[in-house]
Amino acid sequence: SFDAEKIIEYSNKNPKPASTTFAYGTAGFRTVGDTLGSTVFRCGLLAALRSQSKNGQVIGVMITASHNHERDNGVKLVDPMGEMLQQSWEAYCTDVANAQTSEELVETLSHIAQEERIDLTIKPRVAYARDTRPSGPMLQAALEDGLAALDVEASNFGIVTTPQLHYFVRCLNTQGTAASYGEPTEAGYNAKYGQAFLRLVSGRETPSKLFIDAANGVGAPQVLKLAQAINSPYFDIEVRNSDTQTLGKLNIGCGADHVKSNQRPPAGVSLVPGSRYCSFDGDADRLVYYYGDEHGAFHLLDGDKISTLVATYLRDLVATAGIEDLQVGVVQTAYANGNSTSYIKDTLKLPTVFAKTGVKHLHHEAEKMNIGVYFEANGHGTVLFNPSAVAKLRAVVPETPAQADAVERLWALRDLINESVGDAMSDMLLVETILICKGWTLAQWNEAYTDLPSRLLKVVVNDRTIFKTTNAEQTLTAPHGLQDIVDSLVAKFPRGRSFVRPSGTEDAVRVYAEAATRRDCDQLAYAVAGAVF
């Protein structure tokens, strides 16, 4: 059993703010950083239990608030294969975070240990890291208290991107096995992805320089290290918004979320026609590309554009490799632009399904496909090769050089992609690979289809919990009658589509609308928002 006294002693150092209630949401706990000490401390305790319940495998803890304001922070747990924490444990996180006293905390932990039949004699192991936020060191210290309270064997990975921490966790748990994912170090990460990239592009024409907006976050130092490791004209980059030292700059006027939401370039970047640009978010798990044309117009290549580019490339390689019954599929959310969905279905003729917002939901749908490409429109996503795809790839006996090359490229792509979670750096290398291999500019990539005008509104309501959805968040089941109103509004506009969902990260309701013209789209969005309010 636990050393209750020791837990209580450490817990008293990290008291819970009495009046605050915490909730493990779409991407973990997230709120004002200064209030999160007790929660992060308790996540350390829970990560230890999770590790014991997984027979001592390493569990990850990442301290970050991604694209949110610098004053915010957050914490999430990472499961052994680098995936998001199993959903049934999210409720435990919430329970543990909200125990009012240290004594109640110990009781809650004991209860979980009983419920999950955890063998408390197993040595728990945890790997942790944080982003560049000013509240990071304080929260890291709180986490370390939690790890000390349960005698955890802990590895501190310092200041790295969220996807790097996911990668390290997977590496640690597969070390020395046939499924070994790589070396659990920054150098190991850079070597794995960098080498796969060079294998795929060597012999092709080198691309023009890529300007990277790193949101003044952890992606800046990390992508510079990656570039140093690759050390090749195939990866010629210039990093903008790379100031992680000056307070108040993180994510402000820059980063993938800013660019996608405002449909304009980030601060510190003026678009030169013909040049290539991309943005990461504050913890480098989201990626969007963009460019400006000769007429000064801004063109965004978002997660939907990345997913269609990648799905097309994989589909063609599978065809060239001559592998039968190896199906590439695409997972999107309701936010996917309607024209991207039509393009996948009607032009690419690939199966596509919708999942609820939040990476874990897309990930689980993609696992059901042979090769599952999943991206949120906001630029968060990756590709999964399920075991049957790997078996099929292994079984091919190539008969022509073209076939052999395609098979080799599919293997290299599997090495290039961070399967544990969406990863801006790995995704960027993937996009770069495809563009280099096709010899495409961003404008040529953008030609596949044209986005329908879309609008996303945030509506602040008294109580967002009364909004309930089904059908991958596309249909409201409550409040009663509201979906009928939405349907009747949508019917008025050609190519109209709209949905209403409660946010999983903010106290608000989101309204999305798209239609054939900008004017119709905006009218529809505001009409639906009016009905919600």
Q: In whole angstroms, how close is the CB of 364 to ligand 16G at the nearest point?
A: 12
The residue number with the shortest CB distance to Zn ion is 66
| Residue 283 interaction partner, one of ligand 16G, Zn ion, none, beta carbon < 5-8 Å per kind | Zn ion
Binding of residue 300 to ligand 16G (CB under 6 A) = no
Pick between residue 445 and residue 512 the one whose CB is nearest to ligand 16G.
Answer: 512
**Residue 73: CA atoms inside 13 Å, Cβ hemisphere, count?**
23
The whole-angstrom separation of Cα 449 and Cα 434 is 17
Considering only residues 54 to 113 of the shown chain, the ones binding ligand 16G according to CB under 6 A are: 66
**Residue 415 assigned to a binding site:** no
Q: Which of 72, 131, 144, 281 binds Zn ion (CB under 5 A)?
A: 281
Among Zn ion, ligand 16G, none, what does residue 232 contact (CB within 5–8 Å per kind)? Answer: none
Q: Please report, to the nearest 10 degrees, the dihedral formed by the alpha carbons of residues 21, 25, 29, 31 taken in order.
A: -70
List, as one string, the DSSP characters of 132-168: S-TTHHHHHHHHHHHHHHTT-EEEEEEE--HHHHHHH
| Residue selected from 4, 8, 26, 191 as contacting ligand 16G according to rule CB under 6 A | 26
Minimum CB distance to ligand 16G, residue 264 (Å): 20
Site map (CB under 5 A) of Zn ion, residues 224-263, x = contact: ----------------------------------------
Facing residues of 291 across strands? 299
274 known ligand binder: no
Shortest Å distance, C-beta 288 to Zn ion = 12
We find the least distance from the C-beta atom of residue 81 to ligand 16G, in angstroms, to be 16
Alpha helices by DSSP H, 439-517: 442-446, 482-490
Tell me the two tokens of residue 390. Answer: 């790997």
Q: Give the residue, chosen from 358, 372, 379, 453, that forms a contact with ligand 16G under the rule CB under 6 A.
A: 358
From 171, 174, 269, select the one nearest 214 (Cα to Cα): 269
Closest CB 530 distance from ligand 16G, rounded Å: 20
d(CA 474, CA 497): 10
Tell me if 130 is assigned to a ligand binding site: no
Pair type for strands 125-130 and 58-63: parallel
> 467: which 2 tokens?
């909004």
Q: Does 166 bind ligand 16G (CB under 6 A)?
A: no
Show the binding pattern over residues 366-385: x = contacts ligand 16G (CB under 6 A), - = does not.
----------x-x-x-----
Coil, strand or helix: which one is 382?
strand
Return the residue matching tokens 């560049």.
Answer: 132
As a whole number of angstroms, the distance between CA 244 and CA 371 comes to: 37
| C-beta atoms surrounding 132 within 10 Å | 22
Does the annotation flag 265 for ligand binding? Answer: no
What is the longest distance spanned by two Cα atoms in the chain?
69
Question: ∠ at Cα 524 (519, 527), nearest 5°?
Answer: 125
Q: Which stretch binds ligand 16G (CB under 6 A): 42-50, 317-325, 357-365, 520-528?
A: 357-365
User: Annotated binding residue at 376?
Assistant: yes
The smaller minimum CB distance to Zn ion, of residues 284 and 393, is found at: 284
Write each residue from 61 to 90 as x if it is in contact with Zn ion (CB under 5 A), else as -, in one continuous string: -----x------------------------
Strand partners, 211: 238, 277
161 labeled binding residue? no
70's tokens: 């610098």
Is residue 217 within 8 A of residue 255, CB to CB? The reply is yes
The verdict on whether residue 127 carries a ligand-binding annotation is no
Alpha carbon distances (Å) from 491 to 467, 494, 514, 528: 22, 8, 12, 12
Question: From CA 50, how far away is CA 57, in angstroms rounded?
Answer: 9
Q: How many residues bind ligand 16G (CB under 6 A)?
A: 14
Which residues 503-532 are close enough to bind ligand 16G by CB under 6 A? 503-506, 510
d(CA 136, CA 345) in angstroms, rounded, equals 44
At 174, is the secondary structure helix, strand, or coil?
A: helix
Q: Which is nearer to Zn ion, 283 or 365 (CB)?
A: 283
Q: Which residue, 125 or 380, is less far from ligand 16G as judged by CB?
A: 380
Strand (E) positions, 408-473?
454-459, 468-470
Binding segment for Zn ion among 38-46, 274-282, 291-299, 500-508 (CB under 5 A)? 274-282
Does 501 count as an annotated binding residue?
yes
Omega before residue 80 within 30° of 0, cis? no
CB of 501 to ligand 16G, least distance (A): 7
Among 359, 389, 435, 500, binds ligand 16G (CB under 6 A): 359
Contacts of 458 (CB under 8 A, 6+ apart): 503, 506, 508, 509, 510, 511
Is-catalytic flag, 270? no
Query: What is the C-alpha to C-alpha distance for residues 289 and 281, in angstroms, rounded to an integer?
Result: 12
285 binds Zn ion (CB under 5 A): yes
Which residue out of 66, 102, 279, 420 is catalytically annotated? 66
Is 14 assigned to a binding site? no
The answer on whether 102 is annotated among ligand-binding residues is no
Which of 27, 99, 139, 256 forms a contact with ligand 16G (CB under 6 A)? 27
Binding residues (CB under 5 A) for Zn ion: these are 66, 281, 283, 285
Known binding residues for Mg(2+) are: 66, 281, 283, 285
Binding residues (CB under 6 A) for ligand 16G: these are 26-27, 66, 357-359, 376, 378, 380, 503-506, 510
Known binding residues are: 66, 281, 283, 285, 376-378, 501-505, 510
Known binding residues for substrate are: 376-378, 501-505, 510
Q: Which residues are marked as active site?
A: 66
